[in-house]
Structure 1
Amino acid sequence: MNAVRRHTILCVDDEPRSLETLERTLDEEFDVVCARSASEALQLLEQQRVAAVLCDQRMPGTSGVELLIRVRQQWPDTARLILSGYTDSEDIIRGLNEAGIFQYITKPWHPDHLLLALRNACRLVALESENTLLATEIRLTANQAESRIEEKKARLRQQFALDEIVRASDSPLQGICERVKRIAPYDIAVLINGPSGTGKELFARALHYNSLRADQPFVVENCGAMPDDLLASELFGHRKGAFTGAMHDHAGLFEQADGGTLFLDEIGDISPAFQVMLLRVLQEKEVRRVGDEKRRAVDVRIIAATNRDLEAEVAAGRFREDLYYRLAEMTMTLPPLAARRMDIPVLAGHFLRQASQSFAKPARGFSEEAMTALKHWHWPGNVRELQNEIRRMLVLAEQDLIGAELISPRLLRNLPDSDEPEPILEALLRRQEGWSEGSTLKDKTELLEKQLLRETMIRHRWNKSRAADELGLSRVGLRAKLERYGLEPLA
């Protein structure tokens, strides 16, 4: 058990008997040091820290008030108390104003009264010290938080700099990046078109972090397949009690993005009714929370994205023409990955390095056959599909060179015809363990079955029930095949 802290009290009096009485009274609760003059008291204060100074008012040479004025100037965090048998109003006023005396104690004093006064004085000193320390910590924490925020903003600006967008030197993205560089500084609405997985949000962030709003929020909302009431609550906010479950006021994403950029993904999926609501906000630059009458001005740059042909949607009457022109002051179209195959090796290498760092698993690159297959696949899921495939291949890899045998079977089975001297599938199968020119159809089928089993088990983390369900096997049948091929989890 920790000992209770004992505060140190400096008693100052020119009368020895008075000092002895004070020391006997205070000694059980405080550490007491004594001085018989102001000069001796000042010397003691130079040598050690005290919580409070208790001094007599009438002393030869320097009075108690004059001593405590010096104490306040040199040791302002020390409590100051006066003992006096006189009621000189001028001394009292001077003591309060110049010496900042905590309390006057009149003679003859009562021990309980004196002890209570000193306890309170020491408690006040401790609280002031804690408050000072807390204020310093808060200030340092605020400075550190502000510094971290600035560092994060700098990292984001670097991360989404146009030079950081991964592409080949002859990629169609070169022209798109130049276009982003020209239009980013201007507060103009941008509509980004392109198939899913082509990086529309990446370019939206590049527009934001290369604009004058880069230090302000970048807020994202996916509008696809979301009911109108929920989307209205998310974008415009709601008032407490506006609907069941609205337990408090909620600021919508327009308000959260005030001063910055709001990215509306899958904008082509919003209903005709919600198109009217969104158009009104964009025209008036004001939002009204659901269930509220108050309108709030917002300053937001809108970047929207869609994989639909909005011009065709307008022509078909499914998308409002006036909203389209509000969103499409400037348009950008991102090509599918199949239209920029020169980017595949660069992207694959980039994703492999990312996955290697994320999984703490070394990898030095792809085999020639693996890269050939990657370049010939048409990538319907675009960049996102490529990234997922690279991560999957690295997880399955047993060596640091990523071979073609790790590529998903569905991808290998559906590779288009190649102009390569040797068909890609044949080249890949030759990489399989145990493959030879004389291998029979049964041998080849078993090798493919082994690969499919291993890939399925790893994907399901060796959960036999889920793997058996996917493969259409019983647990007994699956176990037999695993034993037959010697498949087991990697150590």
Structure 2
Amino acid sequence: MTSMPPFMVNPVLPLVLVVDDETHSLEAIRRNLEEDFSVLTASSADAAHALLEQHDVSVILCDQRMPGTTGVKFLKSVREQWPDTVRIIISGYTDSQDIIAGINEAGIYQYVPKPWLPEHLLATVANAVEARTLQMQTQRLNLELRTSAPVLRQRKQASLVNAHAAFDFDSMVRAPGSPLDAVCEMAARVARYDLSVLVTGESGTGKELLARAIHYASPRSERAFVMENCAAMSDTLLESELFGHKRGAFTGAFEDHVGLFQRADGGTIFLDEIGDTSPAFQVKLLRVLQEGEVRPVGASRAVLVNVRVIAATHRDLDEDVRCGRFREDLYYRIASLTLSVPPLRERSADILPIAHMLLARAGQELGCPQVRFAKDLPANLLAHSWPGNIRELKNEIYRAVALSDGETVSATSLSPRVLYGQPGKAAALPSSGLASTGSLQERLDAIEAVILRETMLRHRWNKTHAAQELGLSRVGLRQKLARLGLEGQAHG
């Protein structure tokens, strides 16, 4: 068994347990997760049980094939002893019936196929942690409702109202004049009409948040909003999850399962990464959307559903239609209106407002409500291209807050890829929306820091060459770097 010693577990970060009998697979997953989570590893079910006895584990990732047992059997036992721990299965085999059985028996949250993609695995674990947090909060609220005075009931009702307000178009944080303004304006206009919407954009740009805002601005806002990531499941699993199945429809179907389309009846269903579905499944989905009814697997009758569909993808569906990878008739069915969310590198003025919002949220969640950015940190945020968009920025802010000493988050708390990485388009001279707060000198310093850092990176921190380009003496350049807190980055 390999495991992280207890003294290395960071109590601030969510705790993830990875179970796999293959050492190289175990280490690959650990390295992929360790920047954002505390990670324990175990090479057997027995070793994993021992760790679960000692630690409050938020999420378990377990391989399906292990000596002496299966991931499904192990996670079923975990469900009985630690029901609040979110369970994820990883498998490189096409044993879909076994996995479906696991979803029913072990209450598996997600299925991750091998070979897994680093970004997808990170996002899956992050979503699992968030799901567990919401589940624990709901349990606490339900307990209060059962045991407390009517005033607490009123507070919960108010919290539900606030939850609706949290997903309006103002929750899409942005600077004045942001390219996102036009997207939100169009979304607000179409929200009141019962049209299908396709949201396109890179991973981590906020497509789900926009979909939720559309739902809560629509006449369907009092009904359910449900979502499914279509890229995370095989056709068989996806059909069962979306359309449901009847008891005995296949091996492991021990009870009826109500699909998400039925759960969303009267509300909205968000189909994320719809571009990654297979042509065979696209035919089944098209039939549901055309006829307004679903037939659960193994059922003899179809069930009428009244659902608004909002779909999302990071792919170019126009190109996929031309190449035959995506059905043209389904494309026009889901894309009555298309909204494109621009990546963060194309709206650099939004970086700091979003970063400050995430800082406040991280401060509250991590017990540092007075936390603030050091003077040198905004320039580093602006110089990074953020290929992972808002999701990457969120992970970076939470990491920096967790690693900071005191109430000031300095640039040294940033990860090496942000602190020393190559500048992207966001490193260009910022627009007027760059710094909407602070004194004139602070705003000028922020702009100057961006220019200096971009120039130094381009010249590989050669002060002589950078000074020549900027028309400064070498001593003058060194003084400016020191004043703006950039001098210490020269050896990154």
The answer to whether the superposition gives a TM-score over 0.5 is: yes
Q: How far did residue 421 of structure 1 move?
A: 3.9
Q: 2:383 aligned with 1:352, yes or no?
A: no
Q: 2:208 aligned with 1:208, yes or no?
A: no
Go from structure 1 to structure 2 and tell me whether the alpha carbon gap of 1:429 and 1:226 turns closer, same or farther (over 3 Å shift): farther
Q: 2:451 aligned with 1:420, yes or no?
A: yes
**Unmatched segments (≥5 aa) in structure 1:** 1-137, 449-491
Give the Cα separation in 2 of the matches to 1:304 and 1:329. 11
**Number of equivalent positions:** 302
Match of 2:278 among 251, 271, 277: 271
Match of 2:289 among 282, 290, 299: 282
Match of 1:156 among 163, 179, 187: 163
Amino acid in structure 2 at the alignment position of 1:294: R
Q: Find the structure with the greater CA-based Rg.
A: 1
Match of 1:257 among 247, 259, 264: 264
Q: Which residue of 2 aligns with 1:171?
A: 178
Give the Cα separation in 2 of the matches to 1:167 and 1:420. 23
Please state whether the residue corresponding to 2:326 is helix, strand or coil.
coil
Q: How far did residue 175 of structure 1 move?
A: 1.2
**Unmatched segments (≥5 aa) in structure 2:** 1-144, 428-449, 462-477
Q: Which residue of 2 aligns with 1:401?
A: 408
The 8 Å contact of residues 240 and 246 in structure 1, kept in 2 or not, is answered as yes
Go from structure 1 to structure 2 and tell me whether the alpha carbon gap of 1:310 and 1:146 turns closer, same or farther (over 3 Å shift): farther
Give the Cα separation in 1 of the matches to 2:269 and 2:275. 16
The 8 Å contact of residues 153 and 215 in structure 1, kept in 2 or not, is answered as no
Give the Cα separation in 2 of the matches to 1:148 and 1:281. 40
The 8 Å contact of residues 373 and 424 in structure 1, kept in 2 or not, is answered as no
Match of 1:303 among 277, 285, 310: 310
Q: Which residue of 1 aligns with 2:340?
A: 333
Amino acid in structure 2 at the alignment position of 1:320: R
Match of 1:243 among 246, 250, 254: 250
Which digits, 9 at most, give the CA deviation of each residue in 1:34-88, with x for residues without a partner? xxxxxxxxxxxxxxxxxxxxxxxxxxxxxxxxxxxxxxxxxxxxxxxxxxxxxxx
Amino acid in structure 2 at the alignment position of 1:157: H
Q: Which residue of 2 aligns with 1:220?
A: 227
Amino acid in structure 2 at the alignment position of 1:284: E
Which digits, 9 at most, give the CA deviation of each residue in 1:71-109, with x for residues without a partner? xxxxxxxxxxxxxxxxxxxxxxxxxxxxxxxxxxxxxxx
Q: How far did residue 140 of structure 1 move?
A: 11
Give the Cα separation in 2 of the matches to 1:421 and 1:139. 59
RMSD: 3.0
Which digits, 9 at most, give the CA deviation of each residue in 1:349-379, with x for residues without a partner? 0000000000112444223321111011100
Please state whether the residue corresponding to 2:192 is helix, strand or coil.
coil
The 8 Å contact of residues 197 and 338 in structure 2, kept in 1 or not, is answered as yes
- The structure, 1 or 2, with the larger RCO (C-alpha pairs under 8 Å, 6+ apart) is 2
Q: TM-score, normalised by structure 1?
A: 0.57
Go from structure 1 to structure 2 and tell me whether the alpha carbon gap of 1:145 and 1:403 turns closer, same or farther (over 3 Å shift): closer
Alignment of 1:124-203 (within 5 A): 150-203=157-210
Please state whether the residue corresponding to 2:402 is helix, strand or coil.
helix
Which digits, 9 at most, give the CA deviation of each residue in 1:398-438, with x for residues without a partner? 132221122211223323286624656668995999x88xx
The 8 Å contact of residues 352 and 363 in structure 1, kept in 2 or not, is answered as no
Please state whether the residue corresponding to 1:224 is helix, strand or coil.
helix
Go from structure 1 to structure 2 and tell me whether the alpha carbon gap of 1:149 and 1:361 turns closer, same or farther (over 3 Å shift): closer
Give the Cα separation in 1 of the matches to 2:300 and 2:157. 37
Amino acid in structure 2 at the alignment position of 1:300: V
Give the Cα separation in 2 of the matches to 1:219 and 1:144. 30
Which digits, 9 at most, give the CA deviation of each residue in 1:249-300, with x for residues without a partner? 1110000000000000000011000000000000000110100111110000
Go from structure 1 to structure 2 and tell me whether the alpha carbon gap of 1:342 and 1:187 turns closer, same or farther (over 3 Å shift): same
The 8 Å contact of residues 405 and 431 in structure 1, kept in 2 or not, is answered as no
Give the Cα separation in 1 of the matches to 2:175 and 2:484. 31
Give the Cα separation in 2 of the matches to 1:293 and 1:424. 68
Q: How far did residue 226 of structure 1 move?
A: 1.3
Q: How far did residue 177 of structure 1 move?
A: 1.3
Q: How far did residue 173 of structure 1 move?
A: 1.1
The 8 Å contact of residues 181 and 210 in structure 1, kept in 2 or not, is answered as yes
Amino acid in structure 2 at the alignment position of 1:193: T
Amino acid in structure 1 at the alignment position of 2:379: T
Give the Cα separation in 1 of the matches to 2:289 and 2:153. 32
Go from structure 1 to structure 2 and tell me whether the alpha carbon gap of 1:274 and 1:153 turns closer, same or farther (over 3 Å shift): same
Give the Cα separation in 1 of the matches to 2:334 and 2:156. 31
Give the Cα separation in 2 of the matches to 1:429 and 1:144. 56
The 8 Å contact of residues 363 and 402 in structure 1, kept in 2 or not, is answered as no
Amino acid in structure 2 at the alignment position of 1:235: L
Q: How far did residue 145 of structure 1 move?
A: 10
